[in-house]
Amino acid sequence: MVERGSDLLDGRVVVITGGGAGIGRATAELFARNGATLVVADVDEEANQATAAAVADLGAQSLAVTVDVSREVDIERMIVATEAEFGRVDVLFNNAGIMLADDADAVSAEDDAIDKTFDVNIKGVLYGCKYGIPALRRAGGGSIINTASFVASVGAATPQIAYTASKGAVLSMTRELAVIHARENIRVNALSPGPLRTELLMSYLDTDEKKQRRLVHVPMGRFGEAAEMAQSALFLASDMSSYMTGANLQVDGGLTAAYVTPE
Ligand code: NAD
């Protein structure tokens, strides 16, 4: 694991949604160790403040903004606050997402769960780009990372039709955004995690049996860690990935490559 820093993100101002937990928090901490200034945005004010404090302890400048990414006004405020405080936006990590317990198969999923999932997972990313792209332009370019999921590429083994559809949308939006904004020095890539040992999935796979069932599909035979997603996000955020746009970086223990899982 990359623990201590390089100067990969020196002087870069990074906005991370869903910064209060899981991938967002791990990424904020890793980016802080690699020179970034952090703006963390989350609907959970307390968790978000805790991340901002952790980042400050690592010596990075930070700002916490409470947002619900499904609300356009909140996203606009997030970008305005970032430019007001730090003068620019260089990297936008559209990472906040939800997977609801009452998401289900197409026959039984309720409209309310479908709407909420689409609002956060699809509109959240779209609003991030709506306000983030003009800010990246003002900064002379930059990198956008959208968190999708392995379920955007392969059928999920558990019924979660709204979530799966929403992540497919994230992937297709990412490709179009990448093409449209390529000549503006704005790169847009997706990060597709496999199943992770974060709150989002562990509260969903809430029995050992469900966990084991999911692991059958992962050649590495274990859940991924948020810190492992942070490392991939660091690559996509920095100039290490300078010729990469419109890509889907699958960080999934081999899940999407597998046909039969080795014993
Ligand atoms: P997590 O639940 O640990 O953290 C998500 C954070 O997003 C939380 O702090 C939560 O408060 C915040 N959030 C939720 N709704 C929000 C909203 N409307 N506005 C602002 N913030 C909001 O989850 P995680 O595992 O770190 O997931 C991060 C991203 O990774 C999500 O987009 C998720 O779909 C995706 N993902 C996760 C897994 C997994 O196995 N955990 C797999 C593939 C993709």
**Burial call 49-72: b when 16+ CB within 10 Å, e when fewer:** bbbbebbeebebebbbbbbebbbe
Cα distance between residue 218 and residue 147, in whole Å = 19
- On the question of pLDDT at 105 being above 90, the answer is yes
CA of 201 to the centre of ligand 1 (A): 9
Model confidence over 57-67: pLDDT tens digits? 999 999 999 99
Cα distance between residue 130 and residue 236, in whole Å = 20
Determine which residue's CA is closest to atom 30 belonging to ligand 1: 147
Proportion of the chain above pLDDT 70, given as a percent: 97
Model confidence over 167-222: pLDDT tens digits? 999 999 999 999 999 999 999 999 999 999 988 889 888 899 989 888 988 999 99
Active site residues: 163
CA of 93 to the centre of ligand 1 (A): 12
**Pocket-forming residues, ligand 1, beta carbon under 6 Å:** 17-18, 20-24, 42-44, 47, 67-70, 95-99, 120, 147, 149, 193, 195-196, 198-201, 226
Q: Which atom of ligand 1 is nearest to the CA of 69?
A: 19
Mean pLDDT rounded to a whole number for the chain? 95
What kind of architecture, by CATH, is found in domain 13-255? 3-Layer(aba) Sandwich (3.40)
Angle (CA) 68 70 74, round 5°: 50
pLDDT at 3: 54
pLDDT at 1: 53
Determine which residue's CA is closest to atom 19 belonging to ligand 1: 68
pLDDT at 114: 98
Q: Which atom of ligand 1 is nearest to the CA of 226?
A: 26
Cα distance between residue 216 and residue 261, in whole Å = 7
Who contacts 135 (Cβ-Cβ below 8 Å, separation ≥6)?
79, 82, 83, 88, 89, 92
Model confidence over 118-177: pLDDT tens digits? 999 999 999 999 999 999 999 999 999 999 999 999 998 789 999 999 999 999 999 999
Beta-bridged to residue 189, according to DSSP, are 145
